[in-house]
Amino acid sequence: MKLHSTACPMALLLVLACSREPRELKQGMEAFQRQDYAAAMALWRPLAEKGVGRAQLSLAEMFARGDGVPRNMAEAAKWYRLAAEQGVLKAQVQMAWMCAQGEAVGKDPAEAARFYRLAAAQGSALAQYNLAVMLDRGEGVARDAAEALKYYTLAADQGDPNAQYLAGWFYARGEGGRKDPAKAVALLTKAAGQGVAGAQSLLGWMYEAGEGVPADPAQAVTWYRKAAEKGDPLAEGQMGALCASGTGVAKDPAQAVKWYRQASEHGNAAAQAALGWMLERGEGAGKDPAEALKWTRKAAESGNADAQCHLGALLARGAGLRKDAAEAIQWYRKAADQGLAQAQALLGSAFLAGEGVPKNPQEAYVWFLLAKAGGDASSAPFVERLERELPPGAVAEGQKRAAESWRKRS
């Protein structure tokens, strides 16, 4: 998510209330429209210097564009600020953007948020959205999810598609308020219909999971595909998973590899891990141990626990060109520390056999206990065996260590 910017230069759209504003304003506009910029400047500057907000805005935009004067953003900022402080909506929005970006003024997120808040109160959807983003990130203001949702919703109600997407995301997660999957789906559908890839991807997940709507794998595929075709990494990865399993679409390992590869190239760690598995096994593409190792390592380095465990297994076996039992242990441990039971069981086996580490049955016992508690059924026989073989004191110490580790992780 990012701040929307106002176009700079901004279009001159002055609505003149002639009965309440100096006639020179209208005369200046007439001169401006016939491109007599010197006359427009001569009419508007005296008004601007007297504090007429719309004249200040007009001057700011002339300096921002370089209409009849050398382009001068510092001078433009001066007049935008004066107009903004008097409540001129467009000046508030522009000044907020300039403060947020550091354009011709010192970068000042707090001041940007102040001007966006003023403009949001006047009903600017752009300001409402950008203020929501700042509240969501905690930029220039204390992070406040409830306030962020409020402003996303206000902008969404005015049809802003990105605000609809992010308000939908908040309702889907229960961020900033009560979780409301049905409201999330309604908002995401509006944003997805306007082509927002993130909304299409999340809407696909809602249909896949049956959140806010009845589960509908085919509809999930429809929305995932739309987002994936725009290059959304999460949707690409989900398309890979659905093609691999044949959920909502015909099972097609080659298509799965295609989507996983695209998602992998866009940095989706889960897709990189899945692609590594498929390339190792030769599913959907020829077996390629080197490529399997490459993508598995990328995912592992991004912190994906499954990939860390798989990388450890590849290195332990020597698949993908080289064998390295010591490095395998490092990756098993990273995955095990994230609570992955399979990695904990593999660490237990390594300590029991002395592969990549000194043989240590008591350490093996601790890891097998953790793996068993995490649901790894294959660890149960090892736990029983080691409880028979280890001294009672070692068993008690191992159980104490495993319990402490489990509590910390929980």
Q: pLDDT tens, position by position, for the chain (410 residues)?
A: 666 655 443 344 333 333 467 999 999 999 999 999 999 999 999 999 999 999 999 999 999 999 999 999 999 999 999 999 999 999 999 999 999 999 999 999 999 999 999 999 999 999 999 999 999 999 999 999 999 999 999 999 999 999 999 999 999 999 999 999 999 999 999 999 999 999 999 999 999 999 999 999 999 999 999 999 999 999 999 999 999 999 999 999 999 999 999 999 999 999 999 999 999 999 999 999 999 999 999 999 999 999 999 999 999 998 767 799 999 999 999 999 999 999 999 999 999 999 999 999 999 999 999 999 999 999 999 999 999 999 999 999 999 999 999 888 77
CA distances from 324 to 13, 45, 272 (A): 69, 76, 21
The pTM of the full predicted model, rounded to 2 decimals, is 0.87
pLDDT at 228: 98
